[in-house]
Every structure is written in structure tokens, then in C-alpha cells.
A and B are shown apart, each in its own frame.
Chain A
Amino acid sequence: MVAQPKQAAPAPTSEYVLEAKNITVRFPIEHGADVVAVRNFNLQVKPGEFVGLMGQPSCGKSTAAMAMLGLVRPPGVIDSGVVNFMGRNLLTMMEDDVRELRGRDIGMIVQNPRYSLHPMLRVGDQIANVYRAHNQVTKGEAWKHAIDMLRMVGINDPERRVKAYAHELSSGMAQRVLIAIALSSRPRLLIADEPTSGLDVTIQAQFLDQMWDACRQTKSAVLLVSQNLGIMANYCDRILIMNEGTLVEEADVYSFFKAPKHEYSRSILRLQRAAIESGGADAAHIDEKAAPLIEVKDLSKLFPIRHSKSKVHAAENINFFIRPGETLGLVGESGSGKTTVGRCVLRLIEPTGGEILFRNRQANQVERVTDYSTNEMRRKRAKLQIVFQDPLDSLDPRWTVDRVLREPLDLHTDMTNEQKKARVIELMKLVGLEGAHYYALPREMSAGRQQRVSIARAIALNPDFIVLDEPTSALTPETTAEIIRLLMDLSAKLGIAYLFISHDLTTVKFICHRVAVMYLGQMVEIGSKDQVFNSPRHPYARALLSAYLFPSTDNRRVDRTVRETLKGEIPSPVTENLPKGCYLYGRCTSQVDRCKSAPQQLTQLSDGRWVRCWRVAQGEI
């Protein structure tokens, strides 16, 4: 084999950058049948094209993406197939020649950015090592190039960051380091495997925009692997759907979202389609004039930090109410204090200040939840319930469904054994569980069924109010759709009010009547669903809604002329970190000097919504 000069690119002999045919990846299992992770996988990517590869977790999409580099995680093997990159088959090339292509002509970004960087080496060295592996440069030049790359991917202060270790970076920043590595030699193809998992919505948008711009600049084609419909809809030109190791559908992005062909594709788009058809929850059955069921006034929660005077401001001056049968959505990025508010309302953690009022409909009087004694609180829990995020974690692994659902009846009622059994069966029917699961253990059921059990337990005692704390974030898109449907049915049938906490705006848009947006422990905007989703006013709410990638091809983010984003990252909510004036100061695009020092109050606008921004209140923006 003739050695090639390092920079020479192979002559293009095909219209595709990448063309994979019939790839099969198998994982040998000791003492057992082998697992075939990818079966007969075909893929073509044209120069400059954004191709999306989508599927459920562990459907083989990441393995397929890796195989495009001729790599498999040990002990897997690529059994058959051809990967033609620029007309040469990667799978039959000499190992050293493939190695030269990797990182130079094919860049790779993977999920878990912090775990994909070596924990004991400076990120600068890692970028430089890759650059030097493909370009004949000195150590010093490579180091300089590393700094330039970090600047290009939008890391501020790259001279300092280049010396950092992986554990000193936020995952957003680590992800950018990976893209710096991947793009350092201007590859023709970038493979991005869940590049934004674990990132918050606004950071995700920032990052994907940067990736999109950088790739347009370097004219790279992109293979984007994700299970996020929103990313697919907003950034990709063409989409491939994978299920259990096999491709089931391939379509351009517009026709896919308009009319998916395969049964599986239809099932993952069901929630979106339902939302389009029915418009989601309607407020018809809610009495606008009814007295609030739950009213929260000036609620705050500060967590002390050990060995320090400063505190974590998880929630500050939270005010809201929920009417009977109404669903209030509480949205915000991680660390915004949503979960803290939900738990404080039920006094699962004690609020530091403020009061919570609850209209006891049986006694027809307003009671102060914050004044309940411990025993009283325990009795009231029958009416005030919660469903948690992780369905498996919130069920005792050794308890059968029967026992889980019987427990609240044992504690709060004096039913006979037969009555309890009848009630358990009734509850199971209500949440759509078959009788066959009566004696099932949590781990014997799917995550969706486990969540149904949690919901059944929450409604066992006819509660008036349930806090739903990210009830669908651990579920697949199709199960999510089913659970959201179920929750809406239960609310309509039993008149339960929900506080629905989620960062998934698609489900919030579907199930909620009103929506509150939180940022750094404060509520920045609260209004009806249409107000918040269609015309958000607070700069943060606007950025959040704009950054959120709705799974629809109308108004794609890459087609917009102005992409609203926030600068930087969310500061940690510790006393001395918090801005004196508006908490968004420093990231806001509409800030003026007064914002720096003037604390903001939640003010009601003429259309009924509340916004925490003086410029909005005065009609300036």
C-alpha cells in the first residue's frame, strides 16, 4: 500500500460523502445467544446535508453511528456490510488508513460529553493531540489551534479554559470542547450522537445553532443521532427512523412530520398529531369564577449550605393559585426551582416562608396548609397527592400492585377487606391496567405501567389536587402520549386539579390550562396557555419558548431570520451569585442599566397575565 501524504483528500468518486450498505453489528454474549444491535442498515449522506437518525433508547442508533467510523464498542463486531466514505470502503481499509480518516475527514460528537473527555488530561491537550494526529504541526501550534477552536465554538476566555480538565467544565462547555475536537481538522462529515442530551433548552438551542453555523461554514455534512423529535424537525433535512436495530422509514423532514408512513413512526408522533387535531386541553369545564382550590402566597425556600453563610435560593416569593379541576403548568430549566415549589406546596419539604391555602370542599372552608400539625398534614395527604418522575424508584420493588394500591386505603379508610379489593380493581381499571397485573411486581411491568400504578396510588383516596413532578420525562414518546391522555381523562372525570411540573413544553402545551414560567427560583411570567405559548412577554419566557424545539416543521429554527437566545449559562442560585436587580441581567437581550440594580416585581398586565419585568409592564418591550 502506498503511503499517502497526510493532507491529501481522496478523490470523490461518488455523489455521497457517506454511503453505508447492509451494515450488521453483533454483540457476542458469553453463554447465550448473540445480540444483533443493528441489522441491514443503509444510509446515504450528501455533501452539506443534515441527516437525522431517530429511534428509542437502545434501538441501535448509536451503534449504527459508531459503525459509520468502522468502530464498535467492545466486544461487538461488524458482521457484514460496506461503509463507503468518499468512495472508499472503511471496513476493508488498513487500520492506519481508517485512523487517519477518523478525526480528520469524519468528526464525531457523542453524548455524555464529560465522560467522553479523558478525566486526567487538559482539554487543550486533548484537542491538540487529535489535531497533531492529523496535521504536521508542532506542539505549540497545536495548542494555539486548540485555543482558536475553543473560541470558534463560543467558549469565552478560551486561554483559561484550554487548561481546564473535564470535571471543571459544565456539560454544555464539555460538549463544545467535543465539537472543537470534531471540527478541528474541518471534516467533511460530522457525526453527532445525542449532542445535547442533558443540556437545558436554552443552552441546547445555543449549541445546536453554533453547530449548524460551524458546519455551514466548514461545509460539513452532518449525521445527527437523537431521540428528540424537536431537534429532528428543526435542524434536519432528511430523517431516518430506526426501531429494534432496523430502519423502518426514511423521508424528508417535511413529509415525515406531515404524514409518517410506518406504524412505528406514527406511534411516536401520536401526541403531536393529537395536539394538532384537538388542540389539547380545553378550559370549558373550568369555572373561571370559582374560588381557588390552592393558593400559594409569597412562598420561599432557602437551603442552607454547610459551612457557609450563603444559601441556595430555590424559590422566592412564589405566588399562584389553581382552580378546581384546573391544570397549571410549571416550566423552567433545571435548577429553576420547579420541583422545590411542587414539594413545598405539599409540605414534603418545609417552606422557609409564605403560606399555602387549601379550600376544603367537604367542610367548605379555606384552610392554611402551612398551619397544619404533623398529624393533620398526614390526614390531609389523602386530598393532596404527588406523582414523581421515576416510576420504578417511587414504588417499593418488593410490593405487588395490590399491596401498593391497598396501602392508602389501609391508612386512611375503614373499608373491609372486600371493599378494598373492589376499590383496587376499580382503580386499576381507571388507570387502564389489566387485572392480570394485580399481583405484579414493579420490575415486571413496563415504565408506562409502573407510572400508571403511581397514578392509581395518587388517586386512590379521591384527592382534589395532585402535584405531577415530571411524570413523563422517564418515558418514551409513545408512552408519554398515553400517560398524558390518561391524566387528562382523570382530571375531567374526577375533577382533580394538577400542578404539572415539566421541562417538556410539548406536553405542557397539551395538558395545561395556564402556565407559569420560572427562572432562578422566581416566577417570571404566569398566564393562560395561549398567552404564554403564543405571545410570551418576559424576555426569559420569550427566549425559552423560542429556544424550545417543537416537533413541527412550521417555523423551523434554522429558517428563522432572528433566533432569540440568551447569552451565557444559568448562574447557580447561591446568595452571592444572584444579580442584585433583575435575575436575568447579564443574559437578557433587552436589558438597560436600570435592570442591573432594580429588583423586579410580578406585575399584572391589562390582559390578565403577570410578568416580572418593569420594561414589559411599562410597555417598552
Chain B
Amino acid sequence: MVGRFIAKRVFLAIFQLFGITIAVFFGIRALPADPVARLVGINASPEAVQQARESLGLHETKLQQLFNYLGVWSTSGKPGIFQGDLGVSWVTNSRVWDECIRFLPVTLEFITYALIIAFIIAVPLGMSSATKPGGAADRFTFVWGLFAGSQPEFWWGLMFVFFFFFQLNQWDLPHAPAPLGRLTPLTTEPPPITGFILVDSLLRWDFKVLFEAAHHLMLPTFTLVFVVSGAITKMVRQNMVRVVQSDYILYARSAGLSRRKVALYALRASMAPAMTLTAIIYGFLLGGAVPVELIYSLGGIGQYSIRSILQFDYPAIQATVLVIAMVSLIIYLVIDILHAVIDPRITF
């Protein structure tokens, strides 16, 4: 059952990704931009321009360009997507796949931690504010949601850096590291296994790097937690309020179940929507955590995609869109499976 469901979804995902590929391909070529001029400079000779155009393959018809990109009926002699090659960046001349693999885990790592922590904070907080409306937890959630959620994450990032790094440093207190990447410039990264620096250093028993990396990830992670957990808490709260007033909770109480059991009944029923929201935020943050990446100089996939767009680096843009879409689809698939596991009403 589950196997067939996953197979179906993966099958569908291939079509979705193919559709995205084509849409993005023609989309960026429809923009009024001239990547060649950007590459060779304004003063280049017409021959140089023509040569650059040909070396990028832009002299072909758009359809032929697509075929070259896909790797069918290709005239360029180079492999395409169907051969598993996403192409070479026009700016850095390295393979975009390698670059994506380098930048993606950075983003994945800190947004994954952030959302896990946010979820862990949000569930009990949402539950207690739902069971006692107007109580301390409820008021705290309200104020927090209003305060933290209403201001942009780069602003909070800046404030965090100011306070936890600069100000604490000034007072000679233990403080956060400078917002200059995942490690101090002198430490070398462990050779990647998963690309997640905490996981890798742990796998290699390198505790010095582990602590340093955790120290550096602390602020960006908590910036995101600070901003998104308000929304998740509110979602949990809202569902809990509905569930607590539901007939089956009232019935569970009237049947004399213990408080703990009733709370578990309620939690079970109110989890699913919060999980879905978390997944949606995750998908959004894949490309949308750029401000946080920038402030802490993390060099994640969001930053990479912005750079590619500004430099009209078509293969890189296409690759980042595809990679982000792929990760989002996987996340949604996982959430749907989890959803079905906790809710028997959902069938594959």
C-alpha cells in the first residue's frame, strides 16, 4: 500500500519536475535580459559576442536549446539532464550540480534544526494556551506571535548579532561567534558525508568541530525559530481549541479517562495540521531563508540562487529551481505519509 503510494507520487513527481524544467527554461529566456553582454562586457567586439553566444549555445533556436539542455537530439555534443548532467555554470565554469550539492545542505541543515526546534516549542505551548484561554501561556503566545512574526527575519537577525555577538562581547560575557559562516575561517570543514556539518563532525568523532559548528549555527537557527514558531504555535492552539471542544474529548472526559490520556487524545487529533504547516514553511524557507543566510554569511542555496539570477546564470537558475522543487516534493511526500500514519481516515 505505502509502497504503491510512494511509487505513484515519485512517478508524478517526475512529470512535475519535467514540467517545471520546461516552464523555467522558457520563462527565463522570455526575460528581457542579455546574459552574453553581461558576460563579455559592454565594450566587446561583435565577434567576441558572437563567439560567446555560440559557446553558450544561445545561437540555436529556443527549441534546439531545450533539446541540448535535456540531452535529446542534442547538437552541442554535451550531456543533458537525461544523462544526469545539469550543465556548467556560465559564471564559475564548475558543474552546477556540484555547486548545488555544496550549498543545499547548508540551508537544509539550519532550517531543519530551526523547524524541529520550533515544532517542539510550539506543540506544548499551543496546547497549554488552548487548554487555558487567557492564561499566561496564551497571552505569551499572543504577544510573541504579534511581536516576533510581524517583523522581518533579517531585522531580528541583525538584532541578534548586535546583542548576542557585539553587546555581550563588549561586556566580556560569553557571546555568540561572529556571523561569518559555519566555522571560524581557520578551522577546516570535515570532509562531507551528508553535507550537514553537525552530522558529519559527529560521524567523524571530531568534537572540536562539532561544538564550533553548533556554536555558529546557534544564532541563525534561533533567528528562524523566533520568527516561525509563533505561526506554528497559533496553528496548534487553534486546532487544540477546536479539538478540546469536540465531542470526542468531552466524551473521553465523561468516560473518566485520566488527564494525561485526554491530553494525548487531543494532541493526536491536533497534530496533523501543524505538521502540514511546518512542511509548507519548510518548502518556503528552502529558497526564502536568504536574508538569514546573508546576515550570517552561511552561503546556502538561497544565496546561490539569488547570485545566479543577478548574473543571468541560466544553468544555475534552472538547477536551483529544480533542486528546491525536488526537495519540497520529497518533504510533502514525507508529510503525507506521516499524516496517513497518524490519521487512519486518510487512505493512499
Contact = CB atoms under 8 A, between A and B. Distances in A.
A117 B248 contact: yes
Nearest to B244: A74
Interface stretch (B14-22, B71-79, B254-262, B284-292): B254-262
A181 B252 CA distance: 10
A338 interface: no
B236 to A, nearest CB: 16
B245 A108 contact: no
A71 B344 CA distance: 29
A110 interface: yes
Interface stretch (A13-21, A97-105, A257-265): A97-105
Interface in A105-132: 107-108, 110, 112, 115-121, 129-130
Contacts of A181: 255
B323 interface: no
Contacts of B256: 99-104, 130, 133-134
B199 interface: no
B59 interface: no
A99 B268 CA distance: 21
B258 A99 contact: yes
A73 B268 contact: no
A167 interface: yes
Given A116-B247, A120-B269, A133-B261, A71 B252 contact: no
Contacts of A119: 248, 269, 343-345
B248 A116 contact: yes
B133 A167 contact: no
A1 to B, nearest CB: 17
Contacts of A74: 244-245
A379 B206 CA distance: 89
B196 interface: no
Contacts of A69: 254
B23 interface: no
B265 A118 contact: yes
Contact of A120 (B133, B244, B255, B342): B342
A100 B253 CA distance: 11
A108 B254 contact: yes
B194 interface: no
A75 B134 CA distance: 11
Contacts of B342: 120
A486 interface: no
A130 B269 contact: no
B246 interface: yes
A120 B254 contact: no
A319 to B, nearest CB: 42
B58 to A, nearest CB: 49
A99 B256 CA distance: 5
A500 interface: no
Interface in A66-88: 66, 69, 71, 73-75
Contact of B269 (A99, A118, A178): A118
A129 B269 CA distance: 17
Interface string B191-229: 000000000000000000000000000000000000000
Nearest to B255: A103
A130 B248 contact: no
Contacts of A130: 255-257
Interface string A429-458: 000000000000000000000000000000
Interface string A165-185: 101000000000010011000
A115 B345 contact: no
Interface residues of A, number: 32
B348 interface: no
Overall SS of chain B's interface: helix
Interface string B132-165: 0100000000000000000000000000000000
A103 B253 CA distance: 9
Contacts of B91: none
B309 interface: no
Contacts of B268: 118, 120-121
A133 B248 contact: no
Task: From B248, B256, B265, B344, name the one whose CB has the most chain A CB atoms within 10 angstroms.
Answer: B256
B269 A103 contact: no
Nearest to B254: A108
B250 interface: yes
Interface in B91-144: 133
A88 to B, nearest CB: 15
Given A112-B247, A116-B248, A120-B268, A66 B344 contact: no
Given A71-B253, A119-B269, A133 B133 contact: no
Nearest to B343: A120
A486 B325 CA distance: 66
A410 B258 CA distance: 65
A494 to B, nearest CB: 46
B5 interface: no
Contacts of A133: 255-258, 261
Nearest to B266: A118
Task: From A100, A118, A130, A181, name the one whose CB has the most chain B CB atoms within 10 angstroms.
Answer: A118
B265 A121 contact: yes
A124 to B, nearest CB: 13
Given A133-B258, A133-B261, A167 B345 contact: yes
A35 B256 CA distance: 27
B342 to A, nearest CB: 6
Interface in A122-156: 129-130, 133-134
B248 A66 contact: no
Interface string A512-543: 00000000000000000000000000000000
Interface of B: 133, 244-248, 250-259, 261, 265, 268-269, 342-345
Given A112-B247, A117-B251, A120-B342, 15 more contacts: A66-B250, A66-B254, A74-B245, A102-B255, A102-B256, A103-B256, A110-B247, A118-B252, A120-B268, A120-B269, A121-B268, A133-B256, A133-B257, A134-B256, A165-B345
Q: Which 5 A-B pairs have the closest CB atoms?
A: A103-B256, A102-B256, A103-B255, A116-B251, A108-B254
Interface of A: 66, 69, 71, 73-75, 99-104, 107-108, 110, 112, 115-121, 129-130, 133-134, 165, 167, 178, 181-182
20 contacts: A66-B254, A73-B250, A74-B244, A75-B133, A102-B254, A102-B255, A102-B256, A107-B255, A108-B251, A110-B247, A115-B248, A117-B248, A118-B268, A119-B345, A120-B345, A129-B257, A130-B256, A133-B261, A134-B256, A181-B255
